[in-house]
Every structure is written in structure tokens, then in C-alpha cells.
Amino acid sequence: QSALTQPASVSGSPGQSITISCTGTSHDVGSYNYVSWYQQHPGKAPKLMIFDVTNRPSGVSTRFSGSKSGITASLTISGLQAEDEADYYCMSYTTSSTVVFGGGTKLTVL
Amino acid sequence: EVQLLESGGGLIQPGGSLRLSCAASGFTFSMTSMAWVRQGPGKGLEWVSIIAASGGATHYADSVKGRFTISRDNSNSTLFLQMTSLRVEDTAVYYCAKARGLFVFSFDFWGQGSLVSVSS
């Protein structure tokens, strides 16, 4: 199972919006609405930000939103803040009843 | 409050064995699928192994199949990862991750991680 494809890095200025893409295949992203997104700050454990493509866990800012079209999912962060600077990973459930992660995207807030 | 506390990591020589544990609390462990996810130095997240709530079904990444064994003790809310024939490339922080429910559609809580270093 190959990793989902994410851009290595994205950047934006405070207050702007950015979108991170996550491209899979018909065996993962394209088969289920079970894409999740994780935020990871240096030296910390990952934190769930979005589950089931569009849902936010309790306590996650409404500035974070998710979507999906075909085999590509996206995470959008609006009103960028300095604290959003982190690595972001997408993950999808697969037709093999396992999961697959994206390679990760480093978000820099300029 | 959900808590996942990993233990058992350390420095081990290639070919050696190590057993990781993850003590869980704050949720109904026996009704939740669990997983081990690792992150090599400077690398991304890689799922290692998944176990169903009952322990009846397990899955392994190709990179560890035949060398690692995942198991759980539902009576003591503990997850395990037995690692054998360790390789240098197994060096990573190993996270215990809790699925949102019966199925591993997403992981809503993660442990703090346990560092495994494989080196001679």
C-alpha cells in the first residue's frame, strides 16, 4: 500500500487561508468517507483535527475544515494563526481493512 | 479522561527483541480497536499494526509482518507489541493509538510515544 500523496510544504500569512491536498486511490480515499487529518507539533504526539472527511472533534477550532472529491481529500485552515504552524498528515481507511497515511505536509506561517 | 501510557522502549541491538506496552484508561477498552503507529527520525507516520476490539483480528504492515505481534489484554486494558528480529530501520517513536470506535476509521487519542533505538 503506497502512502497517500501530500505536498511536502505549504505556507501562508496570518489571517490567510491554506489548503492541503491528499491524493489516494480507489482502494482508500476513493472508496470510503473515512479520511482523517492529524496535526503534529515538533516532539509531540499527533492530534486528530478532522475525521470522516468533514467532522471536527470537540475542541477543534472551526477554522479547520475538510472535504473530499473522488480520490483527493483536502484540509483547509482559514484565518491562519501562528499556532497552526505544524506538520499535517492525512489518513484513510482502506479496502484491506487497514489504514494508510500521507507523507505529511509542513505548514509554515510566515 | 482518556490516557494512553506506553512503556518498554529502549536501545536494542539488531536482531534483538523488545515488548512495548500501552496502558489505557478513561474509555471502554474492550470495545475499541487499537493500533501501533511509528515515526522514524525526521520521517512521517507509518502504521505498524492494528488489532480489533475483541483481539480476534489483527493486521500488520508489510515492513513488520512475521516479526512483530500485536496483542491485547482487555481485562487489564493493556495493548502490547512484541517486536523480534529488530532492524536498524525499526528505529522510531512508537505511538499507541485509540480508534474512535470498533473500527479504525480514525484515531482520536494517541499516547506520548515510546522511543525504540536499534543500533549496534
pLDDT digits (tens, 9 = 90+) for A26-84: 999 999 999 999 999 999 999 999 999 999 999 999 999 999 999 999 999 999 999 99
Q: CA neighbours within 13 Å on the CB side: how many for A82?
A: 0
Per-residue pLDDT of B88-99, as tens digits, reads 999 999 999 999
Residues 4-63 of A with CB under 8 A from B: 32, 34, 36, 38, 40, 45-48, 51-52, 57
Distances (CA, A) of B97 to A67, B44, B81, B107: 24, 15, 12, 6
Answer yes or no: do A36 and B35 touch at CB < 8 A.
no
> For chain A, where are the alpha helices, taking DSSP H only?
none
Residues 80-119 of B with CB under 8 A from A: 95, 100, 103-113
Written as one letter, the residue type at A55 is: N
Per-residue pLDDT of B8-26, as tens digits, reads 999 999 999 999 999 999 9
Answer yes or no: do B107 and A46 touch at CB < 8 A.
yes
The H helix count followed by the E strand count for chain B is 0, 11
Q: B interface mutation test: which of A4, A98, A100, A105 has the most B CBs within 10 A?
A: A98
Q: Evaluate if residue A1 carries a pLDDT over 80.
A: no
**Contact residues for B36 (Cβ-Cβ < 8 A; gap 6+):** B20, B22, B47, B48, B49, B70, B79, B81, B94, B95, B96, B97
Q: Evaluate if residue B66 carries a pLDDT over 90.
A: yes
* Closest by CA position to B113, among listed B4, B1, B29: B4
Distance from CA of A77 to the nearest CA of B (A): 19
Answer yes or no: do A57 and B95 touch at CB < 8 A.
no
Looking at residue A53, what is its pLDDT? 97
User: With bands split at pLDDT 50, 70 and 90, how would you rate the model's confidence at B112?
Assistant: very high
Pairwise CA distance, residues A92 & A79, whole Å: 26
Nearest CA in chain B to A95: B105
Pairwise CA distance, residues B71 & B84, whole Å: 14
Pairwise CA distance, residues A84 & B98, whole Å: 24
User: With bands split at pLDDT 50, 70 and 90, how would you rate the model's confidence at B101?
Assistant: confident
Looking at residue B102, what is its pLDDT? 84
Looking at residue B104, what is its pLDDT? 87
Per-residue pLDDT of A5-23, as tens digits, reads 999 999 999 999 999 999 9
Q: Evaluate if residue A104 carries a pLDDT over 80.
A: yes
Distance from CA of B45 to the nearest CA of A (A): 7
Q: A interface mutation test: which of B33, B37, B45, B98 has the most A CBs within 10 A?
A: B45
